[in-house]
């Protein structure tokens, strides 16, 4: 089932004792009109069952709390594959959508969703980062440990980020989602410093394996609206999944994308084949017994994650890259997320190092 607004799946709020008088917490509570439970600062929502069996139930529960760690840090990449030097801004943990392949199932160990209220600390960290190295161009994203917009109808946090980034000429913010919760982005003076992005996949994968996510046409319609509001766009074909009819599936998505979305508004498009922590396979098998794509043959990659064999990845990449090349604007950066330079050479005929590095390639598309 598609949820245009995944926050509708939330049925109960929790707030830690130290945050219950927090103005931002009260805004969210009043906006949600949901029942609220106050818990101790070191307590957690009481979700019956054992993880990951209680994860489906846990996604109904949102915890409003403080982040006691760092908000801003480099993407947790690996040296063995080419990285784009993305910077992660952690606004919360978990997501009300429920993609079968979601790495957070194996990465996190709590069934509930968290949203961090200490936004002053978040912006202070950003201030420090910009002051420390004002010459370095930063690409910042909030979609690493949660979906950037899935809870935005409750939190209304995106306008704060967009307004903050408006005058940051040495940075760009990427809001990446599988939802279509974009109303809060309308009418903002974003200064061209925010890119709104969507993950895309083959239609059958989106329909069967991305539970409570928006459908293909919904995502593309939302992208068109954002383009009309002056935002640049991005799209991520990640994870690319081998399945029956995958060739026509990915061709269909790409053709629908360019039939609707203005090509010259797309800053970048990433490609990344399915890869996962070994523990994810058993978790997904327990939670989603109807899914079978984890039962293909995989090999352990240099990063310890399960990956398709190289020949299989190259076959999928070549088909998708060739299809994208038919429609994409020359200024759009099409790139791999976490692949070796050998794969780049085999698919694209060049390596990032020949073009100044992947970071520079992406930076040029939005500067």
Domain 66-364 has CATH 3.80.30.30: yes
Q: How many CB atoms lie within 10 A of CB 68?
A: 9
Separation CA 72–CA 161 (nearest Å): 13
Helix (H) or strand (E) holding 129: helix 119-132
- Cβ–Cβ < 8 Å for 231, 190: yes
DSSP state, 95?
A: -
Separation CA 208–CA 100 (nearest Å): 9
- Which residue, chain included where needed, has tokens 């759009």? 332
Separation CA 270–CA 321 (nearest Å): 10
Residues 6 or more apart in contact with residue 177 via CB below 8 angstroms: 143, 147, 148, 149, 150, 196, 197, 198, 199
The pLDDT score that the predictor gives to residue 80 is 59
The pLDDT score that the predictor gives to residue 338 is 86
Q: With both helix axes pointing from N to C terminus, report the angle between 310-327 and 341-348 in degrees, rounded to the nearest 10.
A: 50
Q: What is the pLDDT along the chain (367 residues), one digit of tens a residue?
A: 456 799 999 999 999 999 999 999 999 999 999 999 999 999 999 999 999 999 999 999 999 999 999 999 877 666 555 667 789 999 999 999 999 999 999 999 899 999 999 999 999 999 999 999 899 999 999 989 999 999 999 999 999 999 999 999 999 999 999 999 999 999 999 999 999 999 999 999 999 999 999 999 999 999 999 999 999 999 999 999 999 999 999 999 999 999 999 999 999 999 999 999 999 999 999 999 999 999 999 999 988 999 999 999 999 999 999 999 999 999 999 999 989 999 999 999 999 999 999 999 999 999 8
Separation CA 276–CA 280 (nearest Å): 6
Tokens of 349: 């005929």
CA distances from 356 to 159, 312, 328, 351, 360 (A): 34, 28, 21, 9, 6
Separation CA 294–CA 81 (nearest Å): 22
Residues 6 or more apart in contact with residue 22 via CB below 8 angstroms: 15, 64, 117
What's the chain's length in residues? 367
Burial class of 131 by CB neighbour count within 10 A (0 to 12, 13 to 18, 19+): exposed
Q: What pTM does this model have?
A: 0.96
């Amino acid at each position: 089932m598609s949820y245009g607004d995944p926050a509708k799946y939330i049925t109960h709020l929790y707030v830690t004792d130290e945050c219950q008088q927090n103005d931002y917490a009260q805004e969210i509570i009043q906006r949600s009109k949901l029942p609220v439970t106050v818990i101790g600062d070191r307590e957690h929502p009481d979700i019956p069952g054992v993880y990951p069996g209680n994860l489906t139930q846990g996604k109904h529960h949102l915890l409003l709390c403080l982040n006691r760690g760092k908000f801003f840090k480099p993407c947790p990449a690996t040296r063995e594959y080419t990285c784009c030097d993305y910077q992660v801004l952690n606004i919360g943990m978990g997501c009300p959508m429920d993609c079968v392949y979601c790495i957070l199932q194996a990465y996190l160990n709590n069934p509930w969703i968290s949203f961090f209220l200490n936004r002053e600390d978040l912006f202070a960290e950003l201030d420090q980062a910009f002051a420390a190295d004002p010459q370095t161009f930063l690409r910042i994203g909030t979609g690493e440990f949660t979906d950037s917009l899935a809870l935005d109808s409750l939190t209304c946090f995106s306008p704060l980020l967009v307004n903050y980034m408006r005058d940051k000429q040495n940075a760009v913010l990427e809001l990446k989602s599988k939802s279509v919760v974009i109303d809060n982005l309308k009418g903002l003076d974003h200064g061209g410093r925010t890119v709104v992005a969507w993950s895309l996949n083959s239609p059958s994968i989106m329909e069967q394996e991305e539970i409570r996510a928006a459908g293909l046409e919904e995502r593309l319609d939302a992208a068109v609206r954002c383009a009309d509001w002056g935002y640049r766009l991005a799209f991520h074909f990640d994870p690319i999944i081998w399945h029956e009819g995958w060739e026509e599936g990915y061709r269909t998505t790409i053709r629908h994308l360019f039939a609707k979305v203005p090509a010259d508004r797309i800053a970048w498009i990433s490609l990344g084949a399915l890869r996962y922590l070994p523990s994810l396979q058993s978790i997904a098998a327990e939670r989603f017994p109807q899914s079978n794509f984890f039962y293909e043959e995989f090999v352990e990659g240099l990063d310890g994650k399960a990956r398709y064999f190289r020949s299989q990845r190259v076959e999928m990449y070549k088909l998708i890259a060739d299809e994208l090349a038919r429609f994409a604007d020359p200024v759009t950066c099409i790139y791999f997320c976490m692949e070796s330079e050998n794969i780049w050479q085999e698919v694209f005929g060049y390596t990032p190092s020949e073009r100044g590095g992947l970071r520079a390639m992406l930076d040029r598309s939005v500067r």
